[in-house]
Structure 1
Amino acid sequence: VLGMLNIRFKEKGDELRAHCMSGTHEDNTPSWFINKNSGMFQCFSCGYRGNLHTLIKELTGQTLYEYLQIDNPDEYMFKAMLTKKKKRIRKIPTKLKITGDILDPHSDKQVMEYLRNRNIDDQFINDFHIKYCNFIVINGTKFRNRILIPIIVDGKILSYDGRTFTDDKPKVLYPKGTSLGTLFNIDNLNFDKELILVEGIMDMVKIYTHITKNVTTCFGINLSNKQIDLLENCQHLLVIPDNDKAGKQFISLLDKHMNYEYKIGFLESKDPGEASVEELKNTIQNAKLSIDYIIEKSGLFQSEEIKWRIK
């Protein structure tokens, strides 16, 4: 790509060194470094940074795929990702100390009404071993009137997502001393096929029930290093964030850590849990590459300076 742009550079290991392309300063001693593996670059003189996608967009006005005349970005992404070495994830078993009774949700009318109002059918209840409690203590954490959704890794319960069905606060509880450094339903996910990622368990109900079983959640927007490692094993990742400030923060955090392209499907007025099945299908079908979505939302190429440089 640099050669096609007539950019001269020197190569040393995994780094390429060239004169800065920001146009904001003289760079007699090259201070612009490009990583060969990720395509990320930064000038250590002026701070100019980005990746091949942003560079091509700035200099040519085209996307990287348009510039390279790649007709099928998905196929290109897949071939590129196949060369990425998968990381081995160390899973830490957790013992839970439980005092009290864990109950079948079908035995309580109020619990079933809560689940049905959230479009949770018997198949979803059975697949994810959903229970409830009136009052129990798990690892010293008190759970009162909670839906209990086990978080299972290697067939063992790592923790519980304890969700109130009586509007108590907080809305969700997790036992003390348990780790959420995993993805929900990790044992049944297929990382070689398109994997849909949402923020919470309730956001994935309609997707799992009506569209695809290959959907998961990271239990909120705060990604752990273990979750990042797991997501980097995914060949095709499609993220559907909540339509709020936290959802935008989630995308920013994800983009900061991910080293390859993924897709983003954004619902304009609803969260995934509130959207209809048809709206979710359309969102998945029309999802954009992350770099295109972020550039579009940021207005990065709308400034007069950038327009002048592109021209």
Structure 2
Amino acid sequence: MSRRTRAGNNDIFDAPIPGDVLSALGKLGIEIVGEDSENWRIPCPAHLRRKGREDRNPSCYVHKDTGVFLCFSCAFKGPFVRLAEEIRGEGADDAAQWVSEQGVIDRAVRLLAGETYARKRETEEVTESHLALFTEPPAKALASKGITAEAARRFEILWDPKRKYWIFPVRDENGRLLGWQEKGKDHFLNYPEGMQKGDSLFGLQALEGEEGVLVESPVDTAVLWTAGIAGGLAPYGAILTPKQLRILGGRLSRLVDAHDNDHDGKRERRKVFDHFHGTGLIVRYFDYGDLAVKDPGEMTPEENRAAYKNAYHPMMRRLSTFGRR
């Protein structure tokens, strides 16, 4: 996200910027629902006030380094302090004071560095022994996600018992541990910082055969397995890296794309189809039909099986629709 052109505020760099944007979002109780290389994606906190309804299909992006944000749906935008003001509801001065108390980054450093500025993220080495800190997810947590213990074990889904976080190990295509994703209520973190999760796909080590089912969230690979659908793969978010696309092209002959049933998911689904069209890898779309759901995790096993069974080739669906007009 371009800090000036998209935010459109002349005072962006006059406002305090939290030293750790992700931590500040967590303290404000803002859920992280996705990310790309530069931005966190969150439900817009101003949606109800501005549009009269909650943000069910989040399209608000917060720049990871500057905290500048923009909601592409309701146009709520500005420097990070505006988010704090919206959430805290105590006015601009209170928001600026609160952000300043989080530890701020020198404004001059960002201005001098311009658009090329990025905090250094040094990757800390992790080993298999680190995973010994975690346990199998408890029955209650598994039930909340609609997955079985067998499915969790198959996809190496773990649990941090102390902090009650889901742990999703990240491995490269050769199985080497790179780190993990932590997810919990109002918490999302990739560990260690700078981990190259785009070098592989979650579920790759459990893949058998040449058909995969692409989902956004690692937990949905286990949701599908619980429903009797094998081959779940997740890129740890909506956007696939060139390397992830290369891995898919090298391992699969068939792909059912179950990106989230929202604007961003549909956009990325089209990108995947266009990338592989004509390459020999057959791509079909997971058939959400008229279900008012976001992803497989919000569907029953029966609904998932039906959506998988009815997966369709997008060009055939277009031709069929055209023929009925």
- TM-score w.r.t. length of structure 1: 0.53
RMSD: 3.2
Equivalent in 151, 165, 168 of residue 186 of structure 2: 168
Partner of residue 77, structure 2: none
Paired position in structure 1 for 2:275 = 257
Q: Deviations over 1:141-169 (max 9, x none)?
A: xxx542212123434312212111xx223
User: What is aligned with 1:22?
Assistant: none
Name 1:130's counterpart in structure 2: 157
Aligned match for 1:223, one of 233, 240, 264: 240
Q: Tell me the secondary structure at the aligned position of residue 288 of structure 1.
A: coil
Runs of 4+ residues over 6 Å off in structure 1: 97-101
Q: Which residue among 70, 92, 103 is the counterpart of 2:134?
A: 103
Residue equivalent to 2:62: none
Residue 120 and residue 145 in structure 1: after superposition, are their counterparts in 2 closer, same or farther (change >3 A)? same
Deviations 1:107-130 (A, max 9, x none): xxxx54223211232212322333
Larger radius of gyration: 1
Unpaired segments of 5 or more residues in structure 2?
Answer: 1-122
Residue type at the aligned position of 1:162: E
2: distance between equivalents of 1:99 and 1:195? 29
* Residue-pair matches, total: 192
Q: SS in structure 2 opposite 1:262? A: strand
- State the secondary structure of the residue aligned to 1:151: strand
Change in CA separation of 1:94 and 1:281 when aligned onto 2, cut-off 3 Å: farther
Aligned residues of 2:203 and 2:218 also touching (Cα < 8 A): no
Equivalent position amino acid for 2:286 in 1: G
Conservation of the 8 A alpha-carbon contact between 1:204 and 1:215: yes
Quickly say closer, same or farther: Cα 1:195–1:130, change in 2 above 3 A.
Answer: closer
1:170-223 CA distances to partner (integer Å, 9 max, x unpaired)? 4x544312112211121232353x221111122222311232332211211111
Name the CA distance, whole Å, in 2 between partners of 1:238 and 1:212. Answer: 11
CA contact 2:171–2:200 (8 Å) conserved in 1: no
Structure (1 or 2) with the greater strand fraction: 1
CA offsets per residue over residues 226-259 of structure 1, 9 Å max, x none? 1111121211111112211121122132134223
Structure 1 residues 143-292: aligned runs within 5 Å: 145-153=164-172, 154-164=174-184, 167-170=185-188, 173-180=190-197, 181-192=199-210, 194-233=211-250, 234-260=252-278, 261-267=282-288, 268=290, 269-270=292-293, 271-292=295-316
> SS of 1:223's equivalent?
coil
Give how far 1:100 is off.
10
For structure 1, list consecutive stretches of 5 or more residues without a partner in the other structure. Answer: 1-92, 136-143
Which structure is higher in helix share? Answer: 2
AA at the equivalent of 2:276: M
TM-score, structure 2 as length reference: 0.51
The residue matched to 1:228 in structure 2 has which SS? helix
Q: Output the amino acid matched with 2:179.
A: S
Alignment-derived partner of residue 59 in structure 1 = none
Kindly, what percent of the aligned residue pairs are identical?
A: 22
Q: 2:221, 2:232 within 8 Å by CA — same for their partners in 1?
A: yes
- Once residues 208 and 290 of structure 1 are traced to their aligned partners in structure 2, the CA distance between those partners, rounded to angstroms, is 24
